[in-house]
Amino acid sequence: MSGAGGQAAGGAAGEAVRRRTFAVISHPDAGKSTLTEALALHARAITSAGAVHGKAGRRGVSSDWMEMEKARGISVTSAVLQFAYRDHVLNLLDTPGHADFSEDTYRVLAAVDCAVMLIDAAKGLEEQTRKLFDVCRHRGVPVITFVNKWDRPGREALELLDEIESEFALKPTPVTWPVGEAGHLRGLVDVREPERMLRYSRAPGGARAAAEEAVAAGRAAAEESADWERAVEELELLRADGAEHDRSAFLAGKSTPVFFGAAVSNIGVRLLLDALVDLAPAPGARELAGGGHRPVGAPFSGLVFKVQANMDRSHRDRIAFVRVCSGVFERGMTVIHAASGRPFATKYAHSVFGQDRSSVDLAYPGDVVGLVNAAALRVGDTLYSGKPAVFPPMPTFAPEHFAVARPADIGRSKQFRRGIAQLDEEGVVQVLVSDRRGEQAPVLAAVGPMQFEVVTHRMEHEFSSPVRLEPLPYHLARATDASGADKLDRTRLVKGEPFTRLRDRAHLALFPSRWQADSFAREFPGTRLETLIAAHE
């Protein structure tokens, strides 16, 4: 390759080496948003904690931009934060903090190269933590573990490592180790520099990075006595057990580097940030739907992993988040929309830092670009230039909650239809229709009931069309075909109902329970009934 094309490929590959694109994932209340703040604070992307999520009266740049999120104190949408650190560019994809939004988290994991998993020091591996570990393993995303809240009472460090290894067959390899039990943290030992201890002085309110002091081993032994001695003994036990970081095992998903700290106090966060540069993988070749891989030096390609409307209340726009997978993105370039085969202009391209955004002229593999007013784009779409590329489709989670949606004011039917279509395209819920009910009474299908709360909130406040939701007695969805849908519509022996998913016209069969689904399968042997990815299995 020569000329401009060769320079672009070389530039893309060279810039990709500097990128680290990762997600922060956890069980609710493990401190995910707090860690996001702390990472940005240590990278000097913000000047004080609270600036990312608008806490303590600061607007700053807010990733929990939705009013419902602010009222609940949880994240229900994902956000993108990009900042520089040590001559690298870090793309942090914040994710929903509630289990009802597992599907959005899954989409984010399709756009990252690594994940930081938070574990609460007191609670250990919680239900959502287990599910997310499984999703990361399924997607081949290597995981760095951060044991959070070590400044509060909790479990023993060795016990937490044993739990990770026994439940996931994943070797935990500590990179930092606490001096002092949970709730009595005296400092941290970087296992790569065991001859010293790092002692922290917390800033008032945790608003600034904690002051860090390196204490020589001899002084640490004299001042911390039993706590230091215990930490040294535990590290010797771990070394004897072979718990040392191995990069190949980490990238293969067989081990997880472990860090300890307290995000709210900014303790141990710098070491985690350094690890994201030193240990986490840079963007690499990406698997294609038809087999093979797209190398980072190939012409531009990107994956749409999220679509979100009305982030800017002043403009009521729609933004598609695109992970750059290969090549160089240049604002204004015309690319091909793989789903339609049509050209797509990229005139309005933004980089996003929470709620704030700015125009982006160039982006490289690993970066996330926000394409504004991209009405033609859907979650899972591929954009490319040069040689055609299509990335594997995004799997859809099996919904477990269903409700008929109707406009509260029939005079707002136009706004109702537009709003429901918009939320379906964003993936806020799945929208189902049937010949029996008609498209005027769509059925909303959700992984968790809080998704319905988001729908009602946004329909009223963004689309000026309040809705009434009528729950349906179904809790199980199976993928079927036209023949299976017709059989379910005709049978009187089994309680169930056939639907078509509006987004992709796929046929779904809904049942009240697994027993009803099994009864239908016995009545019509050979009928297609396939399990979707289950969020709660």
Binding-site residues from annotation: 94-98
Strands of 461-496, DSSP E: 467-471, 476-480
- Rounded CA-CA distance 284/400 in Å is 36
Residues making up the binding site for GTP: 94-98
Cα–Cα distances (Å) from 193 to 86, 176, 280, in that order, read 20, 10, 20
Residue 536, C-beta contacts closer than 8 angstroms, at least 6 positions apart: 400, 447
- The tokens describing 397, both together, are 């989670």
- Rounded CA-CA distance 147/396 in Å is 30
> Phi/psi of residue 130, each to 5°?
-60, -45
CB neighbour burial string for 183-206, b if at least 16 within 10 angstroms, e if fewer: eebbbbbbbeeeebbbbbebbeeb
Kindly state the DSSP code that residue 395 receives in the 8-state scheme. P
Nearest CA among 427, 398, 392 for reference residue 139: 392
C-beta of residue 276 within 8 angstroms of C-beta of residue 114: yes
Q: Which residue has the tokens 């599910």?
A: 131
- Rounded CA-CA distance 484/186 in Å is 63
CB count within 10 Å of CB 47 equals 12
- The tokens describing 97, both together, are 């903090």
Nearest CA among 140, 79, 96, 145 for reference residue 118: 145
Which amino acid is present at 153?
A: P
